[in-house]
Structures are given as structure tokens and as C-alpha cells.
Amino acid sequence: MLQIVRKAVKLHKMTWFLVEHCGLILWLSSIVSSLCWEEYEDRKNCIFTQLPIILEVINDVTSARYIVEWLQKHALEQLSELSCHLYKLLIGDGELMEEQRTVNSVLQILRLVLKISQKRKVYQPHFTLSDEGLFQLCEAIDVCSKKKYSPCAALGLKVVLMSTPPTTVMGMDQENLSKFLSWAVRNAIQSESTKVLQPEESNYQMTAWSEKEEPEDSLVSKLLRWLTASVILRKISCKFNTDNIWEQSNINNLQFLLECHEKRFGENEVGYGCGEILAASIFYLQQLLGVNRRLLPSVVSALCLLLLSGSSSTDMEIWLGLGISLPLLLSKIRCPAEANPAWRCRGEIFPLSLI
């Protein structure tokens, strides 16, 4: 049957009919789901025979723009269900995913579904990965790539960055967060180094990236924005809405944002050392990119929210040691774009976690 469908989807009209009227996506999803529960030997055999055909069919189906647009509007739930099964298959047993081509195909589908989800209306269901799901994904990719850099690792990082910045990242286990950040930073740097790293400036240089070749498209830049957004969005989460502070006209600087955070959460909102780990990663990535970047306001805001939370005005003034009031300086820094509740990273709202 799969072989017949494989040939049928080569015809666009037939593909459209199968997707809209015959539940093709749900049928493929049920097959992938069954692979997750088969006995080991049967599953291994099916993965190397059926799964490549399924992935090829999905690729053919999603190659037509009008079909993707229809799925975006009316059937993202079907793609989400399929993606969840593929995800579980990927992280379930690394030995079953020995073929790099198969792993890459699965990651491409996950990335596509996340991208489609971003284009949906705010009130529609969305697809994303939880912080635990992201950690398990990076572990599985590390196994597939044998803990070395590979195109598969770079693609896996792109999948992570396509997912909505998780507001619960600071609630992760400290060891898991450290592993996740180490994996993400390492692969981001390695994926970009061959393109933009200047050999003559590669040793002990704060700014290691070319001004001309390092636009906001680099994985390093995207990872930095993703991490800062996770921090800021966590700090201004929906708990603030009870005070309606976002309706006030004076929410326009970083000092006010810090004060609002203190009133709401106090000193111990970040635990287990996660704040320090995140701050170190964000600062390191900013060093790589240099200081003259559009991301700098968000970076400064994230670092202040992580490191200055719980500090009194006196403590903050001591930090400077120059007789300059730190609160005064913070009051001159505009709130980052992420502090606006209408902000959506790459156009998406924070979706419900399906994994």
C-alpha cells in the first residue's frame, strides 16, 4: 500500500485529494505510531523499510505550497500528531536511527511543522517542543552524530531555534540545562566558524565574527536571541497581568521592569544555579558577536533580570563602584521588544506544548 501511495503523491491532484478527503496524514501518522510499539526486531526492520517511504511521501506532500497552506489553516493538528510520533521514534532508541539521511528527514519535518505553526493565528492551536523535549532531542542528535559536529547536529539546532523560546527553561535541572547549553553553543559556533571566523582573529579575540558576514542570520545570533527571549518572557510571564502593569504608560525602561519583577517574585524566583548558567552562556555568545548589535538591548535586559534580581538599590550602586547610580542608568535603557505582550518571536505566539 505504501508503494502505491508513494507513486500516487507524485501527481499533485491526487495528492490534494488524498490529503483533503482521505486523511492521508492521519494514516501515515498511525503507521509511524505503530512503529513506536512494535517488538524490537520488527520495529527495526520496519524502520529501514517503511519509514524512508513514509518520509518521502511526507516530503512530496509538503512540497506543494497550496497543500501546506491548507494544512496550516485546517489540519495542523494532523501534522502535529505525526511529528510527535516521529519525535518519539527519534528519541526512543538511537540504534534504530543509524541512517543519517533518515534522521535528517525526520528533523526537516519537525522544522517544517514548527515553521507552519508560527504562521497560524494567535487563537489557533500551535505546535512546539517543551524544554524537556528539547533536551531529549539534543541528546538523541548527539547519539546520532556520535557526539561530533555534523550537518545533522546543525539541523537539530535549527529545529530547537524554530521552537518557541520556553519560559520554563530556568526550571530545568541544572545539569540538564548545562548539557543543553553546551551542546547548543558548541554546534552554533562550529556551524558558523567555516563561514565567518577570521583565521587571523581566531585567538583570544572578543569579536570573532566578521562584521560583513555575520548578520542576524547566523546560528550564534539566533541562539543568543532565543536564550534572551526565554529569560525575558519568563520574567514578564502572564503573572504580571493580574496587576495590569502593561497598560501603564510608564513601563518604558529596564529599571521599572526590574522593580515589577521584584514585587511579583522576590529574590528566589530562579533556583538551582540556572540563572548563572544562562547568564554565562548569554554573555559568552554576546562576546562572540561583538557589542555593536541590535541584540544588545535584549542581552543587557536578560543579564540584568538574571543577575540583579533580588539586589537592593544600595547593592547595585556598590556594583558600579564609580559613584554612579545603577538604577539611574537602568532607567535610561528602554525595555526590550520582548517585554511587549504583543511581541512574537518570528511572528509566532507561545503555543501549547504537545510534547
State the pLDDT at residue 279.
92
Per-residue burial over 296-324, b = 16 or more CB atoms within 10 Å of its CB, e = otherwise: ebbbbbbbbbbbbbbbeeeebbeeeeeee
What tens digit of pLDDT does each residue of 239-279 get? Answer: 454 445 444 444 677 777 777 666 655 555 555 478 889 99
CA distance 261 to 267: 9
Residues 6 or more apart whose Cβ sits within 8 Å of residue 16: 64, 66, 67
**Residue among 205, 212, 209 nearest 223 (CA):** 209
Mind giving me the DSSP string for 30-89?
Answer: HHHHHHHHS-HHHHHHHHHHTHHHHHHHHHHHTTSHHHHHHHHHH-HHHHHHHHHHHHHH
pLDDT at 142 exceeding the cut of 80: yes
pLDDT value, residue 294: 77
State how far the Cα of 107 lies from the Cα of 133, in Å rounded to an integer: 14
Give 354's pLDDT tier (boundaries 50, 70, 90).
very low
In this prediction, what percent of the chain has a pLDDT beyond 90? 28
The reported pLDDT for the residue numbered 200 is 41
249: DSSP letter: T
334 forms beta bridges with 253
Read off the pLDDT of each residue in 26-33 and give the average, rounded to a whole number. 93
Burial class of 270 by CB neighbour count within 10 A (0 to 12, 13 to 18, 19+): buried
Could you read off the pLDDT of 98-139 as tens digits, one per residue?
Answer: 778 888 999 999 999 999 888 877 777 788 888 889 999 998
Interval 177-194 mean pLDDT: 88
Mean pLDDT of 285-293: 80
Rounded mean pLDDT, 201-212: 39
- Which band of pLDDT confidence, cut at 50, 70 and 90, is reported for residue 94? low
